[in-house]
Amino acid sequence: MSAVLEEIVEKVHSLPFAEKRVLREMLNNEEEDFEKEKWRRIALSKKVRGKYKESLSSVDEFLTRKREETDREDKGWNPSS
């Protein structure tokens, strides 16, 4: 444990019970806020991924066009000519 953290722990231990309770509530609220924000971001990420799941990326579109182009060239290519 770092010296700074050890100093904080010592000071917390020396707090009166009522102030420890206030500190605990503050830390719990901070943790709850962090968790809420984490889950909000996860939900937003899933929403965005769901919205664009059917859309092709530019790479997918390029590969599709190249495959179609190659297919057209192959159909026009006659090795017996």
pLDDT at 74: 85
What residues of the chain score a pLDDT lower than 50?
none
Q: In the structure encoding, which two tokens stand for residue 16, read together? A: 């009166």
Position 10 in a domain:
no
pTM of the model: 0.46
What is the Cα–Cα distance from 71 to 17, expressed in whole angstroms?
A: 78
Position 11 in a domain:
no
Q: In this predicted model, what pLDDT tens digit does every residue of 49-62 receive, in sequence order?
A: 887 777 767 788 88
The domain total for the chain is 1
Q: In the structure encoding, which two tokens stand for residue 26, read together? A: 């503050």
Look up the domain containing 62 and give its range.
17-75
CA-nearest of 42, 44, 41 to 52 is 44
**Residue 2 Rama label (left phi>0; alpha psi -120 to 50; beta):** beta
Position 27 in a domain:
yes
Torsion angle (degrees, nearest 10) of CA 27, 30, 36, 40: -150
Position 2 in a domain:
no
pLDDT at 60: 80
